[in-house]
Structure 1
Amino acid sequence: MRLLRRPMAENDFWKLIAVMNGDVDEDAVARLTEALSARRHRDVVAFQERLALALFELDRRELARQPVRFTDDPPDEDPIPLGDDMFLYLRAGIVARGRAVWQAVLAEPSLLAAGTWDECEHLLYVADEVTGDELDTKVSYETGSNERYWPAPDEPEREPWDQGHRLVYVDCRDLADPIHGEKFHEDGSTEPFVSYLPPKYISWDLIEELVLRFSKVVTLNGGLPAEVGAVQLAVTIDFGDEHQLDPVVGEPAEDDEYDVGLVRPVHVTVNAEEARHWTTDRQRSQLSALTASCVLAALPEQHPARPELTRIADDFSSAGKVLKSRLRQERVR
């Protein structure tokens, strides 16, 4: 049974946080867990309520848009935009560093850009672990919940060609950073699954740019013909240990996440260590070439979009060179 309780008094909450000594590592979380374990159940619930409020107060677009550098980021790389989850974990890291830091960041958001920071995802689950239950809170600490500091975005008007679902979907996955979870079925059963987020150095904006660019190319050149056997091409660019740039086209399957119907998967793999050092322009050209090669692999030989896609794939990239070599071999045969 999940119960809602009043938040812990601020002074008591920050005294408990202080046992972490401003650290975010496992030892610091363990000290907090031990301190909470000595409290009554209702105190632990109240702690979680106050934690949610502290995170909610930090949930501001002005903070989320700061160029944040984490302590484990390579020093020669530019900060990348924060995704929703990373902004939440950063906020937990700010709380873990104590009341003074929390107040300072609220008073001056630019502090986030002035130093290096740590995330502390584990702080979110300490109370759950102590109580053995998943605790609800009166406010949500998920990114974007504090509507006062997240003005409603204007929904961009979609162009005439851009109606309904997009014909090309692009996903970038960091294979070195799996997220383990459970899939829940209507009959109450569960099964484990693994998902992946894009690498930290690849922005969501760039991925969305790829979706729009290639959906437009395919749509304005007649769309996906019946031979494709699907209503969408799902291009996956994995970042792993080695290059596998020759696209692998899978069989059409029902899309479980967005319910668009049958999608045909196509994927390639790039070497993550090499990709980590790409400049922003290099990211755009490489990922564009890889996406183009994937779309080409799934389209029929006479599709009107092929000339433009081939030009993109050949645009000074290793993916284009692989594609060009493969096309030459096909012509010889």
Structure 2
Amino acid sequence: MSWADFWALIATLNSEATEESCHRLAEELSRRPVTDISGFAERLAEALYRLDQEKFGTLPLVDLTGRFGSPFPQSSDVFLYARCAVVAAGQAVWESVFFDADKFTPYTAGERNGEWLLYVPDKAYELATGKEWDRSTRYCVESYSNRDGWPDLRS
């Protein structure tokens, strides 16, 4: 799947990865060949992997402070869901955060959670084939897996 096709499908979310919008996207994707579902999964994984960087993952949560007013850090799950929300916001937002990390900050807020986007390829495959998809992608989406994005974590 080309990046243009991927971003066109993401645009159907209307900038938010809600349960409803992601279900609609999965239904749309399920009407395409299985190779498109796999291609979408690969592009999604790569988009999330590219955002897996220290400059984004160390940003504190919006409007939440720890004891004594200190910034509250993102957990690995919150960081993954924030990256999903950035992707769901569309190509322009995704590209812009690489040039200005502060543009990532609003996506750390709980109400911008993009978790539902993670399930789109699995749901599309299930709708298309009637089978559960045991898949893997070239890129790992888990937080801190991009060693180039986290130079201090390199072993």
TM-score of the superposition, structure 2-length normalised? 0.83
* Counterparts of 1:115 and 1:143, CA distance in 2: 15
Q: Is the 8 A contact 2:147 2:154 kept in 1?
A: no
Unpaired segments ≥5 residues, structure 2? 66-70, 126-131
2:82 aligned with 1:99: no
* Counterparts of 1:135 and 1:123, CA distance in 2: 16
SS of the residue 1:52 aligns to: helix
107-116 vs 119-128, which deviates more?
A: 107-116
4+ residue runs of structure 1 moved beyond 2 angstroms?
112-117, 152-155
Q: Which amino acid aligns with 1:105?
A: V
* Counterparts of 2:105 and 2:2, CA distance in 1: 31
2:81 pairs, out of 68, 79, 89, with: 89
Q: Report the counterpart of residue 135 of structure 1 in structure 2.
A: 135
Identity, in percent, stands at 37
2:49 aligned with 1:62: no
How far has the Cα of 1:135 moved from its partner?
Answer: 1.7
Instruction: Give a deviation string over 1:2-38, Cα, whole Å, max 9, x none.
Output: xxxxxx2100000000000112222211221111111
SS of the residue 2:140 aligns to: coil
* Counterparts of 1:93 and 1:138, CA distance in 2: 21
Unpaired segments ≥5 residues, structure 1? 1-7, 70-74, 156-333
How far has the Cα of 1:115 moved from its partner?
Answer: 7.2
2:115 aligned with 1:121: yes
Q: Is the 8 A contact 1:68 1:112 kept in 2?
A: no
Q: Which amino acid aligns with 2:136?
A: D
* Counterparts of 2:32 and 2:73, CA distance in 1: 39
Q: Residues 298-309 of structure 1 correspond to what in structure 2 (within 5 A)?
A: none
Q: Residues 1-40 of structure 1 correspond to what in structure 2 (within 5 A)?
A: 8-40=1-33
1:50 pairs, out of 26, 43, 49, with: 43
Decide whether aligned partners of structure 1 residues 86 and 108 sit closer, same or farther in structure 2, where only a CA change above 3 A counts: same
* Counterparts of 1:26 and 1:147, CA distance in 2: 31
Q: Which amino acid aligns with 1:96?
A: A
Q: Report the counterpart of residue 129 of structure 2 in structure 1.
A: none
* Counterparts of 2:135 and 2:30, CA distance in 1: 15
Q: Report the counterpart of residue 150 of structure 1 in structure 2.
A: 150
2:128 aligned with 1:109: no
Q: Is the 8 A contact 1:44 1:127 kept in 2?
A: yes
SS of the residue 1:80 aligns to: strand
Instruction: Give a deviation string over 1:202-249, Cα, whole Å, max 9, x none.
Output: xxxxxxxxxxxxxxxxxxxxxxxxxxxxxxxxxxxxxxxxxxxxxxxx
* Counterparts of 1:141 and 1:56, CA distance in 2: 5
Q: Is the 8 A contact 1:23 1:97 kept in 2?
A: yes
* Counterparts of 1:35 and 1:57, CA distance in 2: 25
How far has the Cα of 1:89 moved from its partner?
Answer: 1.0
Decide whether aligned partners of structure 1 residues 130 and 107 sit closer, same or farther in structure 2, where only a CA change above 3 A counts: same
Greater strand percent: which structure? Answer: 1
Q: Is the 8 A contact 2:79 2:108 kept in 1?
A: no
Decide whether aligned partners of structure 1 residues 90 and 40 sit closer, same or farther in structure 2, where only a CA change above 3 A counts: same
| Higher relative contact order, structure no. (Cα contacts within 8 Å, ≥ 6 residues apart) | 2
Which protein shows a greater Rg? 1
Instruction: Give a deviation string over 1:180-216, Cα, whole Å, max 9, x none.
Output: xxxxxxxxxxxxxxxxxxxxxxxxxxxxxxxxxxxxx
